[in-house]
């Protein structure tokens, strides 16, 4: 598999975004967001999406010079218009505000309309965690989830992310879509020529399918929990709750009103809704970070069913991936990904990715 040095990936992302019209500061911020996904092993949300973000700038869906504004605020809240700026621009603006309010009032709860895709939700929750706070981030998205009993899609993958600081630099990190599986996982099964498990997706008849290609073409993902008898309605409820925080509070499009995100998108702003929250543990019982560390230890020390598969605490997988990337100094991409980037380099006029 081709390998690219981490700083070279960042250089390529930044230059490509700048070439497309983003100011240096915002290109850098957005590159950091995408790089974080690749570094932690969530390749679907990293370099893989650079072309989509650049296409959004070209099509006018994203205004790379857009500046978010506060429309209304109180001690612990803010309503923001993201003004169709880049995901990282809105994310930094809103989470900085939530952190500031949490430090002053105990909680900061910020909901924004006029948003574009903001990458991994966990990146934003982590930003507050690094300030010693509990961070949370939510976003809605185009409708790919089929609510329980429904033949039609209506909800987004609507992720929830939460990071909490733990003693000794540790953290407990959650970052999960409210669907059982992401579309990217179905693509991986197609590439491997393997079926998908029951409970991931429906076929066009509204019935379960294990045919990865059919599931991909149909694009009807089941909520976390799968079918009704295994409580799939709970994943649907989770998605609806996140919808309330994102579009409900901000006045953005609800997921069922959001256009799909593709290289052909030319319908202007998706007007996504996003929500950023921070809570200051100092306002509660002393010893928060020690208690979180205690839970992490308890989870990690559980006896595994299969001794070769240790129990992972929330966030451990991403931490291990980040360490591996750091040790290696490079990120590994499929050749197809490199080819796409080289074509992109030619289009926007930047130096192609240098493979090690």
Q: Which of residues 178-197 bind its own copies (CB under 8 A)?
A: 180-181, 197
Compute the distance between CA of residue 328 and CA of residue 238 in angstroms, rounded to an integer: 37
Least CB distance from residue 182 to its own copies, whole Å? 9
Interface with its own copies (CB under 8 A), residue total 86
Q: Toward its own copies, which CB reaches closer, 64 or 135?
A: 135
CB 142 within 8 A of CB 117: no
Candidates 59, 190, 299, 330: give the one binding its own copies (CB under 8 A). 299
DSSP 187-237: HHHHHHT-PPPTTSEE-TTSSB---HHHHHHHTEEPBTT-SGGGTTHHHHH
Which of these segments, 38-46, 50-58, 103-111, 334-342, binds its own copies (CB under 8 A)? 103-111
Q: Does 237 bind its own copies (CB under 8 A)?
A: yes
Q: Does 291 bind its own copies (CB under 8 A)?
A: yes
Least CB distance from residue 75 to its own copies, whole Å? 4
Restricted to residues 127-156, the positions that interact with its own copies (CB under 8 A) are 134, 147-152, 154
Q: Toward its own copies, which CB reaches closer, 181 or 348?
A: 181
Closest CA to 17 of 32, 36, 2: 32
Q: Look at the block and give the residue holding tokens 């992490």.
A: 296
Six-digit token pair at 32? 């950091």
Q: Does 263 bind its own copies (CB under 8 A)?
A: no
Cα distance between the two ends of the chain: 11
| Per-residue CA distances from 75 to 173, 219, 283, 328 (Å) | 27, 42, 15, 45
CB contact set of 7 (below 8 Å; sequence gap of 6+): none
Candidates 69, 302, 324, 356: give the one binding its own copies (CB under 8 A). 302
Q: Toward its own copies, which CB reaches closer, 54 or 161?
A: 161
Least CB distance from residue 266 to its own copies, whole Å? 25
Compute the distance between CA of residue 47 and CA of residue 8 in angstroms, rounded to an integer: 12
Q: Does 284 bind its own copies (CB under 8 A)?
A: yes
Q: Does 106 bind its own copies (CB under 8 A)?
A: yes
Which of these segments, 37-45, 59-67, 286-294, 336-344, binds its own copies (CB under 8 A)? 286-294
Kindly report the length of the chain.
Answer: 356
Dihedral sign, CA of 141, 145, 150, 151?
Answer: positive
Restricted to residues 73-92, the positions that interact with its own copies (CB under 8 A) are 73-77, 79
Q: Does 100 bind its own copies (CB under 8 A)?
A: no
Q: Does 52 bind its own copies (CB under 8 A)?
A: no
């Amino acid at each position: 598999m081709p390998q690219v040095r981490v700083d070279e990936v960042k250089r390529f992302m930044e230059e490509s975004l700048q070439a497309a019209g983003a100011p240096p500061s915002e290109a850098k911020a957005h590159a950091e967001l995408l790089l974080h996904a690749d570094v932690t092993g969530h390749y679907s949300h990293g370099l893989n999406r650079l072309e989509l973000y650049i296409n959004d700038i070209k099509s006018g869906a994203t205004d790379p010079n857009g500046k978010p504004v506060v429309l209304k605020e109180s001690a612990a809240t803010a309503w923001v218009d993201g003004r169709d700026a880049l995901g990282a621009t809105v994310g930094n603006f809103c989470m900085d505000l939530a952190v500031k309010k949490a430090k002053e009032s105990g909680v900061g709860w910020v909901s924004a309309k006029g948003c574009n895709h903001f990458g991994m939700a966990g990146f934003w929750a982590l930003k507050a965690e690094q300030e010693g706070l509990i961070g949370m981030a939510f976003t809605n998205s185009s409708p790919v989830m089929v609510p329980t009993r429904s033949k039609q899609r209506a909800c987004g993958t609507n992720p929830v992310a939460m990071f909490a600081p733990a003693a000794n630099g540790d953290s407990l990190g959650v970052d999960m879509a409210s669907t059982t599986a992401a579309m990217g996982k179905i693509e991986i099964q197609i590439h491997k020529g393997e079926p998908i498990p029951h409970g991931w997706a429906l076929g066009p008849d509204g019935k379960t399918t294990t045919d990865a290609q059919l599931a991909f073409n149909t694009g009807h993902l089941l909520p976390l929990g799968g079918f009704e008898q295994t409580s799939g309605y709970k994943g649907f409820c989770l998605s609806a709750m996140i919808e309330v925080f994102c579009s409900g509070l901000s006045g953005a499009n609800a997921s069922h009103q959001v256009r799909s995100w593709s290289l052909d998108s030319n319908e202007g702003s998706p007007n996504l809704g996003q929500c950023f929250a921070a809570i200051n543990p100092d306002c509660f019982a002393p010893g928060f970070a020690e208690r979180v560390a205690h839970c992490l230890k308890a989870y990690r020390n559980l006896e595994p069913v299969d001794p070769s598969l240790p129990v992972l605490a929330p966030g451990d997988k991403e931490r291990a991936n980040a360490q591996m990337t750091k040790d290696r100094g490079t990120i590994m991409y499929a050749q197809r990904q490199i080819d796409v980037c080289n074509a992109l380099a030619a289009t926007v006029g930047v130096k192609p990715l240098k493979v090690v």
